[in-house]
Structure 1
Amino acid sequence: MEPSSSNTGFIQQQPVINNQFYDDVSYQRVARLFLPSDILDKITPDATQIGQEVLSQQVFNWVTDAEHNQPYLRGNGRDSFGKPKSELVVGEGWRKLQDYGFKKGVVALNYDTDHGPYTRLVQFLRCHLWEASCANTLCPAAMQDGAARLLQRHLFTSAAKKLSPIEREVFQNAYSHLTSRDPTKTWTSGQWMTERTGGSDVSQTETVATYDPFPSSAPVPLASQSESIPLGPWSISGFKWFSSATDSHMTILLARTHPSKGVSAFFAPMRRHNPSLVSHTGESGNGTELNGITIQRLKHKFGTQSLPTAELELKGMRGWLIGEEGKGIQEISTILNITRVHTTVSSMGYLGRSLGIARSFALVRLVGMGKGKRIALSSHPLHMRTLANMTTDYHGMMLLTFYTIHALGLDERSLTSNQAATKVPTPPKELVQPLLRVLSSLHKSYVCETTVPLVYGCMEALGGVGYMQNVESEYLNISRLFRDCCVGSIWEGTTDVLASDTLRALKHPLSGKQSVQALDWLILSSKNAGLVEEWQVLKNKIDMGKQEELLPEARGLVFRIAEIIISVLYLVDAEADPGVEIEAMCARFMEKKGFSVYEAPGKRAREGGLKLDQAIVYGAGKDLAQGAKL
């Protein structure tokens, strides 16, 4: 017997994280289910490369740097003599990760590539691989995406007729930057709604915008000298309580223009040209300064610590009105549809990576089974059942998330007669928007809330190692993923806010019946008597109940609808690509939620033991023999 020391004795074999494009069975099934085979074949080489690159040591080094060198205000917001000076500093890792995302077109792909209504699906399949390695840089990218979509609608639809030549030039310039892949040109965007009066409730907005055009006798000040882009005619002042992407190049914000009107939406650059700026050497400069913005302080958060989030005071910030006065909620909803999907995909990305880590750890970690017998966790019946159950929940949420993205893609680019349709239920054109109206709130409220305990379960699956920060082995750092994923059920609307919004969509006096009809169409398409019966009970409750009476039950009501939709999609998936594993997962999910299932998969699920659980977790035919070594 030899005693162990710090460098001798048992040292745990390192887990190896594999490329999730192939290693994540759920990801593969979703890609095959939602994309036509020719598009999937076309995107596979690029997606495979992304899946490999995001697991590189270089990327994890950038993540560690972004987490360690967190954003700060130089001089705590003042210069050496006490003058306010809002100079935000972000780390090298953060900038490198942003540049990588720009080059890969995590936003631009939806605007410079045309896969028809499947373009959004391709974009978010790539984002899913990147989420857990991006150190939150996809948060400003989400708002960049939403802003690009909003400006796209005003530039390239009938709304463009209402734009003046100068507005068209300003919006086109911003749109070109937002959709660029060149890191030296790409802009991110803020999305400023939250004030001290409330987060998602913007009815009490205290930011005020005044129409105050510059005198015609004087040159119009510029936002950018190199591009000759003028500042806007609106002067905006107020206090924004919670603004992420503080290092962005522009923002879309809400402000009030008149006491009797609702809030309005504005576009504003973050910086403006100031030719009188003097450098520290006394030389005249042609520099820029913040556009009437003072960064009061940065927020200290439980997670997303690499992301600069701040309180901002606006005094005479110059901007441009988007759309009509008082119609800001309608304008910002375009962005919310996008950012909510990004938030849900981030939750799925965190969970997908966490399960990947748990899978790899189970292959190399040995545990005792009594009488001196030791086996890998990947062969431990209880551990495999736990991971199989978590994988089943994960796959269900992947189906709901990507079905929402499917609807989003159809809303942006209609399916034409010469484009191949998949086996996913595709609603009639008139029901696409009503269905998306419901799903846009429902998917985020259900998925982001449900993800948190599952990511925690992956931490637990690693034992004490999972609880560590693991910055020395960043690829194993589930604790960082857990902290970051917790924000998903808070930002872009909390679970209760979004459940209330889903109820509001279903009870809307003008469009509510269409939204119910869209759900009716989707659920009846399954032809599963149990699901149809359950939906009929909920539908009658929605039809008969008043909105204020249903509100206390909104969360349970919305979650139940989500579980019905997931079950419908599980049945679609099992029929499209049958197999023992998917049929067992379908049966287990439906039985867990109290739905009756058809006999074949239900029987297989009850009969399956360790080998079935291993196939659910690792995929059919996976050789686990190369697992743990003494």
Structure 2
Amino acid sequence: MDATHEVFNQPAPLTGYNLFESNRPLRDALKFNAPQLHTAALGHLGAALGSAEMQAHARLANIHAPVLHTHDRFGRRIDEVEFHPSYHALMSTAVGAGLHGAAWAASGPSAHVHRAAGFMLFTELEPSILCPISMTYAVAPALRGNAAVHADWGPKLSSLWYDPSLQPWSDKPGVTMGMGMTEKQGGSDVRANTTRAVRVGSDAWGERYEITGHKWFFSAPMCDAFLILAQAPAGLSCFFLPRVLDDGSRNAIQIQRLKDKLGNKANASSEVEFRGASAWLVGEEGRGVPQILEMGTMTRLDCALGTSGLMRQALSLALNHTAQRSAFGKPLIEQPLMKNVLADLALESEAATALAIRLARAFDHQDDEHERLMARLLTPVAKFWICKRGSLFAQEAMECLGGNGYVEEGGEGVMARIYREMPLNSIWEGAGNIMALDLLRGLRKGDAVAAIAHELAPARGTDAALDRLADALPARIEAMATEIEARRLAQDVALAVQAALLAQTAPGDVTSAFCASRLGGDWGHVFGTLGSSVDFDAIISRAQPH
């Protein structure tokens, strides 16, 4: 039987390319923020992550979601989550690249910037397995609050070996850690927690407690240990809770169920109950909130990095598709309206990358007063603004692919996965209002006005719209007596810093288009509404993934 039609005008998938070498905005951001950084390892990682093999692992880890086994076939309680082998292949790659706790033990320059770039690249491939990677990064320094635990676990947390088995930490070459903070009744208000901690003695790890209660969100329950919050006699406190005890027995953690989430399918998020679980105090009793804020800062950095990586991948898929797909007589990428959309997305992606890498730089220089203050201010700003832009970005990028972008099948099915993933980073570790409130608290630390002015100073005179915003910010910050406009202030600080960074790292065509649209008002309310004077071809060419 003759074929009814020939398949043509369907783009080849975006595969077999180097995510790092083809990302000019990221490489320029690294040159600016960490000029001494050696990027050879990032090049090797970028090549691996762009391979068909790793893309297949990402697809399979999402198709074959984690499965909870509460009991074995004989009726014994085991509380184990089974993952597809592709999940473990991805985890092994991420740990081997040092994206977890390795930055805290690194001796080279710009360890946190290097790790941030790798985290962004990995997010382009598969974001959801990075939950335990991010939590390990966040909790590793917090363990210093218990010197004995830190001495034993610290080297294992920075190890480049991934071992998924459930056995005592001393028998494993490397370990990962998670967190358990929120409860049904509290959410972001962790002071409402009801989980109880009762002191039962002391040993080589210090004060030991029994934990009774629950956690409503307990991500990555197969990690080797967790930092949790519980109410002790002196108030809300932080505790180190291992999954397996030194004698090889399972700690009294019962996994009730796995969350059925919108996205983030490869990661196991769970609800758990503690039934007299053994845990050790980290820090001082009653000082749990400062501990959680310290950890939250690091995970919020990863939210900004992760969304920036997702933006870059969505943009790359849109560029790949429109360069090959023709309509109305020429490739989509040559159609004027599509040019406007693609250039606008490229501006947003580059600005997100610039801000996220700048924030990572601050954590490499915590001995510098300005950098400490910028870490405090830019963390909620970047988390708020970049993550808020993510979902709108993903929807517009998906539309560039038309119906092909909406389906789950094949290489372009990645776009649907990105779209489902985007809201997570905005919600996780504090949604928009929490970030805006955190910015207000940060503005009361040190001389915030002077710090922001110092950050914007190198770009003053580059663009009139940026100068106007920079001139207005000090008075707005000093007059911010109520919360009602805090989100708007967070937005404007983010845009000002993004514009200032682009003025120092990007070509003039990119900077002028960003300032004219985001700061000068020559823009609509959706992507693809840049003014006609923009050099669309130059911006699109810079963003191309090949």
Contact 2:316 2:544 in 1 (8 A): no
Letter matched to residue 363 of structure 2: L
Instruction: Tell me if the contact between 1:266 and 1:319 (Cα under 8 Å) persists in the aligned partners.
Output: yes
- CA shift, 1:134, in A, is 3.2
Q: Does 1:264 align with 2:233?
A: no
**Shift in Å at residue 169 of structure 1?**
3.8
Distance in 2 between residues matched to 1:309 and 1:108, nearest whole Å: 21
Decide whether the 8 Å contact of 2:406 with 2:413 is kept in 1: no
TM-aligned CA deviation for residue 358 of structure 1: 1.3
Residue type at the aligned position of 2:219: S
Pair 1:177 & 2:138 matched: no
Change (3 A) 1:535 1:12: closer
What is the TM-score when the length of structure 2 is the normalising length? Answer: 0.90
Partners of 2:217 and 2:85 in 1: CA distance: 24
Q: Which residue of 1 aligns with 2:330?
A: 375
Distance 1:556 1:306 in 2: 34
Alignment of 1:279-358 (within 5 A): 287-289=248-250, 291-358=251-318
Structure 1 match to 2:537? 611
Shift of residue 132 of structure 1? Answer: 2.4
Q: Does residue 543 in structure 1 map to residue 478 in structure 2?
A: yes
CA distance in 2 between counterparts of 1:544 and 1:378 reads 46
Taking the aligned partners of 2:101 and 2:191, their CA distance within structure 1 comes to 33
- Is 2:199 aligned against 1:240? no
- In the alignment, which of 449, 468, 472 is matched to residue 516 of structure 1? 449
- Give the match's secondary structure for 2:191: coil
Match status 1:187 vs 2:166: no
Structure 1 residues 9 and 346, CA gap change in structure 2 (3 angstroms):
closer
Kindly indicate whether the alpha-carbon contact (under 8 Å) linking 2:380 and 2:439 is maintained by their aligned counterparts in 1: yes
Question: Which residue in the other structure is 1:225 paired with?
Answer: none
Q: 8 Å contact 2:495–2:519 — kept in the other structure?
A: no
- For residues 326 and 9 of structure 1, the distance between their equivalents in structure 2, rounded to whole angstroms, comes to 66
Distance 2:101 2:485 in 1: 40
User: Counterpart of 2:356?
Assistant: 401
Residues 208-234 of structure 1: CA deviation (Å, up to 9, x unaligned): 1111116xxxxx7xxxxxxxx879611
Q: Distance in 2 between the 1:362 and 1:533 partners?
A: 37
Mean CA deviation greater in 105-114 or 199-208: 105-114
Give 1:267 shift.
1.1
| 1:143 and 1:339 in contact (8 A); partners too | yes
Deviations, residues 54-86 of structure 1 (Å, cap 9, x unaligned): 122221222222112211222xx3455766542
Q: Structure 1 residues 93, 540: closer, same or farther in 2, change over 3 A?
A: same
Deviation, 1:447, is 0.5
Report the alpha carbon displacement of residue 4 of structure 1 after superposing the two structures with TM: 5.3
SS at 1:212's partner residue? strand
CA distance in 2, matches of 1:434, 1:9: 57
* C-alpha separation in 2, matches of 1:186 and 1:409: 24
Distance 2:133 2:82 in 1: 19
Distance 1:232 1:95 in 2: 34
- Larger CA deviation: 101-110 vs 487-496: 101-110
Offset of residue 463 of structure 1: 0.8
Contact 2:380 2:436 (C-alpha < 8 Å) held by counterparts: yes
- What TM-score do you get using the length of structure 1 for normalisation? 0.78
Aligned to 1:163: none
Q: Is the 8 A contact 1:119 1:409 kept in 2?
A: yes
Name the residue aligned to 1:557.
Answer: 489
1:13 & 1:389 partners in 2: Cα distance? 22
- AA of the residue aligned to 1:199: G
CA distance in 2, matches of 1:592, 1:430: 33
Matched letter for residue 404 of structure 2: V
CA distance in 1, matches of 2:159, 2:188: 30
Q: Are residues 1:386 and 2:349 paired?
A: no
Q: Which has the larger radius of gyration?
A: 1
Once the two structures are TM-superposed, the CA of residue 314 in structure 1 deviates from its matched residue by: 0.8
Instruction: Give per-residue Cα distances to partners, 1:261-301, cap 9 Å, x unaligned.
Output: 44111111112255xxxxxxxxxxxx532x11111111100
Residue 81 of structure 2 corresponds to 88
Q: 1:570 to 1:10 in 2, by over 3 A?
A: closer
Query: For 1:14 and 1:342, how far apart are their aligned partners in 2?
Result: 31
Once residues 312 and 287 of structure 2 are traced to their aligned partners in structure 1, the CA distance between those partners, rounded to angstroms, is 38
Deviates more, 1:90-99 or 1:304-313: 90-99
- Contact kept, 8 Å, 2:218 with 2:270, in 1: the verdict is yes
RMSD across aligned positions (CA): 2.6
Which of 63, 72, 88 is the aligned partner of 1:68?
A: 63
Residue 195 of structure 2 is aligned to residue 207 of structure 1: yes
| CA offset digits 1:596-624 (Å, max 9, x no partner) | 99xxxxxxx864555335434439xx8xx
2:48 pairs, out of 50, 53, 59, with 53
Please tell me whether residue 360 in structure 1 is matched to residue 320 in structure 2: yes
CA distance in 2, matches of 1:89, 1:237: 26
Count of matched residue positions in the alignment of Structure 1 and Structure 2: 527
Give, in angstroms, the shift of residue 323 of structure 1. Answer: 1.1
Match of 1:125 among 103, 113, 117: 117
- Residue pair 1:437, 1:505 contacting (<8 A) in 2 also: yes
Deviates more, 1:292-301 or 1:54-63: 54-63
Matches within 5 A, 1:121-160: 121-151=113-143, 153-154=144-145
The superposition leaves residues 14-71 of structure 1 with CA deviations (integer Å, 9 ceiling, x where unpaired) of: 13343221222212221222221x42xx32x321221111122221222222112211
Could you say what secondary structure the match of 1:22 adopts? coil
Aligned to 2:383: 444
CA contact (8 A) 1:231 1:272 kept: no
Q: Is the 8 A contact 2:465 2:519 kept in 1?
A: no
Letter in 2 for 1:490: I
Q: Deviations over 1:129-159 (max 9, x none)?
A: 11122352211111101111222x44xxxxx
Deviates more, 1:194-203 or 1:386-395: 194-203
Of 561, 582, 585 in structure 1, the residue corresponding to residue 510 of structure 2 is 585
Partner of 1:424: none
What CA distance in whole angstroms lies between the structure 2 residues aligned with 1:463 and 1:115? 45
**What SS is found at the alignment partner of 2:272?**
strand
Counterpart of 1:594 (choices 509, 513, 519) is 519
List gaps (5 residues or longer) in structure 2: 164-172, 523-530
Does residue 1:482 correspond to 2:419, yes or no?
yes
Q: How far apart are residue 328 of structure 1 and its match? A: 1.4
Tell me the distance in 2 between the aligned counterparts of 1:398 and 1:341: 12
Aligned partner of 1:110 among 103, 107, 119:
103
| Aligned position for 1:467 | 406
Q: Per the alignment, in what secondary structure is the counterpart of residue 107 of structure 1? A: coil
Q: Deviations over 1:383-411 (max 9, x none)?
A: 12210111011111111111111111111
Distance 2:201 2:392 in 1: 52
Change (3 A) 1:615 1:106: same
In 2, Cα distance between equivalents of 1:349 and 1:501:
24
Q: 1:359 to 1:531 in 2, by over 3 A?
A: closer
Tell me the amino acid that sits aligned with residue 177 of structure 1.
Answer: K
Deviations 1:429-483 (Å, cap 9, x if unpaired)? Answer: 322222211111111011011121112211111111100112xx24651111111
